[in-house]
A and B are shown apart, each in its own frame.
Chain A
Amino acid sequence: MLINAINLVAGYGGEPVLRGVNFAIDSGDIGVIVGPNGAGKTTALKSIFGLIRLSKGSVQLEGEDITNVPPDRRVRLGIGYVTQERNVFPSLTVRENLEMGAFIRKDKFSPVIDNMFELFPPLAQKADDVAGQLSGGQRQMVAIARALMVSPRLLLLDEPTVGLSPAFVSEIVDRILTIARSGVGVLIVEQNAKRALEIADIGFVLASGKNLFTDSGKNLLNDPEVAKSFLGG
């Protein structure tokens, strides 16, 4: 397993939001976390990245326990994280945003930047524009590219397509598939469960901080119970 999160219990003080959830995905797989509002999807992602202290449970990256490793160290270990909002540096140029993603790299990273421009061609033309002036979809590309700059083993994406126009959605989804094909494990939190499960190698359905169903995306889509509970029929 690339990442193995076992029995996570976490919250923001008071009642825990996560009440013992499990995730596990392999390299090159796309895992999708879906579920109703307040199910703890974003919290789950944050706790895998170490932004929230776990009160119970453990996180392992390729068998190595990283439960107590702070987030900036997890970046060095190869986890990239894209938050849902405010995920670019608005007053930095696109190129500078990518450089910030590579802050921890000691080697020459300009080829990596070129790779990113290949992966997201629209960014190449905007390389020297300030990120704050880009459209929502382009910003999302910058954010994902920034997280990819460390060549992570695992990429965590929090609602990468929220608020984007359909054209951008399919472009982003396309890129995510490309990224996974290159061997990176991708764990996505999605509001739009149906579309997300279509590309999921493995889907995790959460409700009130617990795993409700875990199965391949296709099986979940076809499972009448999943459909009944929240895919809207």
Chain B
Amino acid sequence: MNELIFFINKVLISGSIIGSIYALGAIGVTLVFGILRFANFSHADLMTSGAYLSFVFAALLPGLGPVIGLPTGFVVLPLSILFLAAFAVTIDVMFYRPLRKRNVRPVMLLVASLGVTLMLHGVIRLFAGTSPRTFFAEQNKDVFRIDVPFETTTRDLIISEPQVLLIITTIICIVSLHQFLTRTRLGKAMRAMSDNSELALVSGINTDKVVQATWVIAGTLAAIAGTLLALDVVLKPDLSFNLLLPIFAAAIVGGIGRPYGAIAGGLLVGFSETLAVFNWSVLLRPFAEYFPEWVEIPSRLNFVPTEYKIIVPFVILIAVLIWRPTGIFRGQVI
């Protein structure tokens, strides 16, 4: 039974955690891709910026967390959301809108987003340095150990407070995004513009406003994902550059412009990663006596060594591009 608990800790819990992060990132990427028609390479650095914003606010308001009883980094989240959403809109006005007005090919916007991502890279490194930081210097990170009521188990299910917050916040985000997209005029206009931007213009939809709303949502989700990831792991400048590929893979698997697809894609990529690096020997060992004698269970038995984890989203990405470029949810962009 201990092995099973190990599996739940290492695969189910880790997978949903990283899957949620990917999902939040992929929703932002997929919305921008759907509306503005380019793969936003700066999204991961937007997430990192959000995490650093939260770090700054947490440092400015250190007393806030203990009062409410939650990590300070989480409590200041609304502030970072506000700032990052405004920041995302500003970036659009400064760097993307002038290009759009000139009617350039969408891939030019992609190049611009590379420029933006490098700028964010530089600014973060200049002001924060490259050394990792933690949100829990003055506050303890609560870890819940859930005793499993079986006699044969000695291990506990382990989940930390930031992880619980992450899962709850992700669910809240998804539900509110769904409400926004299906119930509000602006949300419907976003879906409309993602469907067919020329027709949106012809219908009299204020496309500038839709673009702004898109950046606000992308910024909001990036702030949430970045902060919660930093709370769960650690805050460092290249935190999210490694997330770029899995997030793109998730967005493409889900179908570009399909937020629900992005959620499914995020979880798919997240679980594939954890399953691929999981050491399957742990699960096989209890059954060692049932194997013939000449079979020796190696101490490590995994599909992909942890160092090569990045191969997993890449393989998923390529497989989808070859077999079904529109993604499992039939996105509209190929």
Contacts and interface: CB of A to CB of B under 8 A. Distances in A.
Chains A and B directly touch (beta carbon < 8 Å): yes
Interface of A: 49, 51, 71-72, 75-76, 81, 83, 86-92, 96-97, 99-101, 103-104, 146-147, 150
A96 B198 CA distance: 17
Interface in B166-215: 185, 188-189, 191-192, 194-196, 198-207
Interface of B: 185, 188-189, 191-192, 194-196, 198-207, 332
Contacts of A92: 188, 191-192, 195
A43 B133 CA distance: 60
A42 B206 CA distance: 24
Nearest to B209: A103
Q: Is the interface of B mostly helix, strand, loop or mixed?
A: helix
A171 B188 CA distance: 29
A205 to B, nearest CB: 26
Nearest to B186: A103
Contacts of A83: 198-199, 202
Given A49-B202, A75-B204, A100 B188 contact: yes
A72 B206 contact: yes
A77 to B, nearest CB: 10
A202 B199 CA distance: 28
For the complex of A and B, 6 pairs with smallest distance between CB atoms: A75-B204, A89-B195, A104-B204, A89-B192, A103-B205, A100-B192
A70 to B, nearest CB: 9
A76 B191 contact: no
A75 B195 contact: no
A86 B196 contact: yes
Given A72-B201, A97-B192, A100-B205, 5 more contacts: A49-B202, A75-B203, A86-B196, A89-B200, A103-B205
Contacts of A96: 188, 191-192
Contacts of A146: 203
Contact of B202 (A76, A81, A91, A97): A81
